[in-house]
Structure 1
Amino acid sequence: MPVIVYVADREMFRDDDSIFHEILASHGIQKGDYEVELYATFPMLIFDELSDDVISELETIDVVQIERVD
């Protein structure tokens, strides 16, 4: 199921050493494994699939919002 991840903090998205990218990397997810659309206010990442473990960890970051697409 596709998953959209909104990152409300642009700096967190830009910083490769941020907790956001650390979580993705710890699950073997790299740039290129998802589509990125940059909006004026925040980046939106589109994943074809994202495991519940990754989603759970990303949800612990206050500036990240997850949307599951049916």
Structure 2
Amino acid sequence: MKDRNYLSNQYHENRDFFYKNGKKYTKLDAEIWDNIKDLERIEKNYPLITHKRAQELFDEYKDIFDDKD
């Protein structure tokens, strides 16, 4: 089933270009839109670790990684 929110689906249906909200879009526009939507979905579903949390984990486990030999 197609995701109607993606501009590329509309592009592929209309081939050369398509109009949405009175603006003309090309295949490149559609690919960029897809990439942006993919990134938004990834960030929503898999939140990135914050720098603060990364530092906390590093401090907690640094003894394991310290080379004392």
TM (normalized to structure 1)? 0.21
Calculate the TM-score normalised by the size of structure 2: 0.21
Q: Greater relative contact order: 1 or 2 (C-alpha under 8 angstroms, separation 6 or more)?
A: 1
Larger Rg: 2
Greater per-residue helix proportion:
2
